[in-house]
């Protein structure tokens, strides 16, 4: 059990209108902070007013990007109670990322306690409107003030909260995706399976070039053969080929092991769909498109839940998926996951964790 000191904000902010929240633009009144020093371990857990952080300009995070993050949500049910979706999965993944980035891990029960305590303090910020939620962003930064290249001896673990709007204001809208042939997101042996800012920094240029062409995201191919599919933007990707649900496997370490991805696989298997986790090449997608067996494709992630793909553009070769409309499997997964997340159905999967017991 952490001993969390709470310092309440003297002045509370005005809350933004729930119909114009967007994603990650507003932040709540408080934040969680805990420090780490070599020899002392994690210490000084506190909830304090949200505000700027003072760091030495030589703090290692600014130079060598020793940093990692997580993303999950708190949902308000119809009865007003607030719940989390599989937070244990995010915490486990955060600690796996810590190990890859030479960052000290955090006891899972402490991380969960910190998330719950902060959401409870700022519970009025969990929005009420349909499709809205409170996005939870835990992150760890290296704060040791020096420029030698080695793992930092000091860190801060912080959690900030942001009320977010419904991703799909006008219903589940399929997105257009550009197959990325120039840049890669990661290579085997790199940090593809770690949730780190560096991966995102490296992805921005490809994303920007795709946007200039009118595409929402890019489809990342592997860095060695440049043909196996990794992810779509910052989401995991699924295809329905010949009635089977196919998604790239995690074994090469190129892919971020999404909580939404794992949940979709578990639900599909429970419903009796054939699911294959394996290598999927872009050539296979072309072939399936040409012989008419590619019936659906969608991305999965906490922010959008399910993001149907309406079109892939591979160097000018256009593959329209399901007539540019959402397919039945995408819709069923979206409905089932969101019913669980907002507490509209009984949780038979054991995935829901209430913020307060
Ligand atoms: C966070 C993330 C995902 C989605 O993971 P979820 O746990 O489902 O939100 C997928 N790909 C990348 C690169 C990510 O950072």
Quote the pLDDT of residue 9: 97
**Range 22-36 average pLDDT:** 97
Quote the pLDDT of residue 168: 73
Ligand 1 centroid to residue 45 C-alpha, Å = 27
**Range 26-46 average pLDDT:** 98
Residue-level length of the chain: 357
Ligand 1: atom nearest CA of 231 is 11
Ligand 1 centroid to residue 9 C-alpha, Å = 32
Closest by Cα among 237, 232, 190 to 207: 232
Lookup: tokens for 299: 């991305």
Query: Is residue 289's pLDDT more than 90?
Result: yes
Ligand 1: atom nearest CA of 262 is 8
Mutation pick for ligand 1 pocket among 236, 300, 304 (CB with most ligand atoms within 8 Å): 236
Check the CA dihedral 327-329-334-336 and report its sign: positive
Grade residue 127 by pLDDT with cuts at 50, 70 and 90. very high
Grade residue 170 by pLDDT with cuts at 50, 70 and 90. low
Q: Identify how many contiguous H helices and E strands the chain contains and give both numbers.
A: 7, 18
Which residues contact residue 117 at a Cβ distance below 8 angstroms, ignoring those fewer than 6 apart? Answer: 4, 6, 32, 47
Query: Is residue 41's pLDDT more than 70?
Result: yes
Specify burial of residue 69 (Cβ count, 10 A radius: 0-12, 13-18, 19+). middle
**Pairing mode, strands 154-164 and 133-142:** antiparallel
Quote the pLDDT of residue 166: 86
Ligand 1: atom nearest CA of 185 is 13
Q: Cβ < 6 Å from ligand 1: which residues?
A: 71, 195, 231, 234-236, 256, 258-261, 300-302
Ligand 1: atom nearest CA of 301 is 8
**Range 129-138 average pLDDT:** 96
Mutation pick for ligand 1 pocket among 24, 237, 258 (CB with most ligand atoms within 8 Å): 258
Among 156-160, 170-174, 307-311, the minimum mean pLDDT is found in: 170-174
Quote the pLDDT of residue 173: 85
Query: Is residue 12's pLDDT more than 70?
Result: yes
Ligand 1 centroid to residue 7 C-alpha, Å = 32
Which residues contact residue 323 at a Cβ distance below 8 angstroms, ignoring those fewer than 6 apart? Answer: none
Query: Is residue 262's pLDDT more than 70?
Result: yes
Ligand 1 centroid to residue 299 C-alpha, Å = 10
Which residues contact residue 319 at a Cβ distance below 8 angstroms, ignoring those fewer than 6 apart? Answer: 285, 286, 289, 294, 311, 312, 313
Check the CA dihedral 47-53-54-60 and report its sign: positive
Ligand 1 centroid to residue 129 C-alpha, Å = 25
**Range 67-73 average pLDDT:** 98
Query: Is residue 171's pLDDT more than 80?
Result: no
Ligand 1 centroid to residue 303 C-alpha, Å = 9
How far is it, in rounded angstroms, from Cα 4 to Cα 20?
33
Crossing angle of the two packed helices 108-121 and 87-100, in degrees rounded to 10: 120
Tens digit of each residue's pLDDT (9 = 90 or more) over 208-225: 999 999 999 999 999 999
pTM of the model: 0.97
Mutation pick for ligand 1 pocket among 184, 195, 267 (CB with most ligand atoms within 8 Å): 195
Closest by Cα among 266, 219, 254, 253 to 239: 219
Tens digit of each residue's pLDDT (9 = 90 or more) over 311-339: 999 999 999 999 989 999 999 999 999 99
Ligand 1 centroid to residue 255 C-alpha, Å = 9
**Range 96-110 average pLDDT:** 98
Looking at every residue in the chain, the average pLDDT score rounds to 96
Quote the pLDDT of residue 169: 66
């Amino acid at each position: 059990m952490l001993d969390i000191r709470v310092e309440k904000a003297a002045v509370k902010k005005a809350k933004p209108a729930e119909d114009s929240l967007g994603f990650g633009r507003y932040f709540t009144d408080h934040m969680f902070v805990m420090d780490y020093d070599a020899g002392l371990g994690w210490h000084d857990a506190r909830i304090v007013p949200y505000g700027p952080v003072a760091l030495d300009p030589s703090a290692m995070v600014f130079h060598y990007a020793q940093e990692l993050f997580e993303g999950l949500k708190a949902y308000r049910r119809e009865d007003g109670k607030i719940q989390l979706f599989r937070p244990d999965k995010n915490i486990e993944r955060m600690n796996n990322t810590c190990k890859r980035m030479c960052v000290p891990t955090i006891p899972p029960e402490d991380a969960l306690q910190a998330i719950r305590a902060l959401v409870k303090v700022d519970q009025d910020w969990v929005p009420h409107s349909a499709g809205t939620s409170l996005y939870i962003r835990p992150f760890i930064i290296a704060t040791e003030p020096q420029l030698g290249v080695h793992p930092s001896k000091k860190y801060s673990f912080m959690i900030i909260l942001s009320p977010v709007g419904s991703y799909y204001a006008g219903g589940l809208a399929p997105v257009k995706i550009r197959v990325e042939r120039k840049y890669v997101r990661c290579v085997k042996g790199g940090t593809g399976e770690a949730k780190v800012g560096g991966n995102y920094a490296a992805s921005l240029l490809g994303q920007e070039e795709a946007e200039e062409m009118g595409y929402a995201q890019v489809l990342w191919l592997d860095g060695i053969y440049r043909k196996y599919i990794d992810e779509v933007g910052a989401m995991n990707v699924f295809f329905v080929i010949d009635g089977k649900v196919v998604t790239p496997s995690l074994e090469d370490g190129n892919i971020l092991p999404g909580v939404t991805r794992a949940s979709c696989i578990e639900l599909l298997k429970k419903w009796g769909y054939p699911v294959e986790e394996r290598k999927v090449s872009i050539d296979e997608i072309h072939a399936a498109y040409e012989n008419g067996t590619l019936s659906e494709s969608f991305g999965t992630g906490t922010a959008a839940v399910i993001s149907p793909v309406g079109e892939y553009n591979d160097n000018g070769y256009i593959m329209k998926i399901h007539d540019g409309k959402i397919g039945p499997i995408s819709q069923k997964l979206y409905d089932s996951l969101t019913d669980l997340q907002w507490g509209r159905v009984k949780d038979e999967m054991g995935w829901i964790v209430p913020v307060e017991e």
